[in-house]
Amino acid sequence: MHRFLAVVFVLSCSAQTPPARIKVDVDRTIGEVDPKLFGNFAEHLGRMIYGGIYEEGSPLSDKDAFRTDVMDAVKKLGVSILRYPGGNFSSGYDWKDGIGPKAQRPTRPELAWHDLESNRFGTDEFLKYCERIGAEPYICINAGLGTVDDARQWVEYTNESRHTYWADQRRKNGREEPYKVTYWGLGNEIDGPWQLGHKNAEDYSKFAVQAAHAMRLSDPSIKLVACGSSNYGADWIGWNRTVLTALRNQVDFIALHTYIGNRENDLERFLGSSQRIDHYIETTAGAIKAALTGINNPRPIYIAYDEWNVWYRAQNDQHLEEVYNFEDALAMGMFFNSFFRHADVVKMANLAQLVNVIAPIMTNKQGLFLQPIYFPIAEYGKQRGNVALRAWVSSPTYTLNREQLPYLDVSSSYSAKDRAVYVNVLNRSKSQDISARVENQQGALSSNVDVWQMNYPDLKATHTFGDDKKVVPSTRALQAAVDKNAFAYTFPAHSLTILKLHVE
Ligand code: AHR
């Protein structure tokens, strides 16, 4: 920051009135914080499945070859819904290779990530894993090289209760009861030229309408996710418009994907990526509205942000084993704040990915460690009300892409049952603590405030095996000096804070 500006900033911070204000009001609701916002993603890629959640012959694995140490960490992460099997992988995958006796499953070339696929982990293993971790399964069909009938038969295999060919194959493979998979993705990033079976919007829509129709005839209760655009350099809005118009009577969600990075080593720009995320959400929400206009009693369509994360250091040859630092942990709060602020339209979100591959959990043969991003992801799922509130924020700002961006990036939620208001605050300033007056509009604020915070002097601090206790959250019970239903709180520079307020 320029020296003069910094002096002005510090002076205003130290004045009587805090320079920032955050107002919460339990009457100003946005929408339900959908439990599916705390989803995750498991792709056949690098060491995500093999050596990640599944390792045959490991003393750390159970009888199903699930790594129990990993499963424990996954359960504590609070994964509500798990997307599978890809990603780019899905566009070349034949699900029939991954069922039945393991010795008879074929090894195939894996074209998306230039690997070999042994198929020793497949549909039954995935669905069993979901049941063990208590997550809803979400399967992405092959809309690249696959066929409509492959997709339909996959639904029959997992969901059919009558004695049909594929339901009986499932029984033969040890599962009597249908798995009842509700969420199905109609392909992955088909607008990307990198995708196997890449199509234009019209061709994709034609395929997806037919697949949706056939899959729903197999099970009318399923919910479908259209493949939204991920190719932001191209006409991504046009793609979404075409797909939404063609699929508006068929789908329940449209997917968005976003990866961010800090190549310029500019923290405030990096944490200002919320500009883009908000823009993608709001533009797509507009496209949904436009597509549903004029339709009698339309099927509501929501956004599934089914791939999101920081990803820019580890490229393909490293199997995407991104090492996350403290500033990346802050970015997790930024993503969730945006999802909460759009809780009326974003009804699913899946961090990409769960283990080893751009992931919060890293393994080797002997154990695992938790990356700094693990903690905010777990916390946002735990510390929240079921309803998002529209917080009013007045904060010092900085200029990014010609826009004034508040240093304090805020979201809020409310639990009527617990009479608790959660205020999630990311201070994006690299160097300035920001003092704020936190004001409550409805009900009397108790002086008991629970504080969860992540703050660390070194933005680039990382974890590794045997050293993962550094960049971790702290918690404390604060006795706030409540005055006129408000109190002052100072958010340290580059920090992420969740305040739990109790309202009587
Ligand atoms: O998550 C890694 C990859 O990123 C996924 O396979 C693909 O969908 C996206 O481009």
For range 167-190, the mean pLDDT: 98
pLDDT of residue 14: 45
Sequence-distant (6+) residues with CB within 8 A of 337 are: 274, 409, 410, 411, 424, 426
Sign, CA torsion 77/126/184/146: positive
For range 128-154, the mean pLDDT: 98
Average pLDDT of the chain to the nearest whole number:
96
Percent of the chain with pLDDT over 70: 96
pLDDT of residue 17: 64
**Nearest alpha carbon to residue 321 among 40, 51, 39, 38:** 51
* pLDDT at 494 exceeding the cut of 50: yes
Q: Which atom of ligand 1 is nearest to the CA of 192?
A: 10
* Of the options 3.30.413.10, 3.20.20.150, 2.40.50.140, 2.60.40.1180, the CATH number for the domain spanning 4-31+389-503: 2.60.40.1180
Q: Which residues pair with 449 in a beta bridge?
A: 478, 501
* pLDDT at 8 exceeding the cut of 70: no
* pLDDT at 319 exceeding the cut of 50: yes
pLDDT of residue 154: 98
Query: How many residues in total does the chain contain?
Result: 504
Which has more pLDDT, 12 or 257?
257
pLDDT of residue 315: 81
Segments making up each domain of the chain, as ranges: 4-31+389-503, 34-384
Which has more pLDDT, 16 or 8?
16
What pLDDT, in 10s, does the model give residues 67-119? 999 999 999 999 999 999 999 999 999 999 999 999 999 999 999 999 999 99
Residue nearest to atom 6 of ligand 1 (CA): 87
Question: Which of 40, 43, 115, 316 should be mutated for ligand 1, with most atoms under 8 A from CB?
Answer: 43
pLDDT of residue 12: 45
Compute, in angstroms, the gap from residue 213 CA to the centroid of ligand 1.
26
Percent of the chain with pLDDT over 90: 95
Give the active site residue among 189, 322, 327, 379: 189
Which has more pLDDT, 19 or 253?
253
Report residues whose beta carbon is within 6 angstroms of any ligand 1 atom: 43, 86-88, 188-189, 307, 352-353
For range 356-384, the mean pLDDT: 98
What pLDDT, in 10s, does the model give residues 262-316? 999 999 999 999 999 999 999 999 999 999 999 999 999 999 999 999 999 998 6
Sequence-distant (6+) residues with CB within 8 A of 11 are: none
For range 249-269, the mean pLDDT: 98
Q: How far apart are CA 386 and CA 346, in angstroms?
A: 14
pTM of the model: 0.96
Domain 34-384 superfamily per CATH: Glycosidases (3.20.20.80)
Sign, CA torsion 58/322/473/32: negative
Residue nearest to atom 9 of ligand 1 (CA): 87
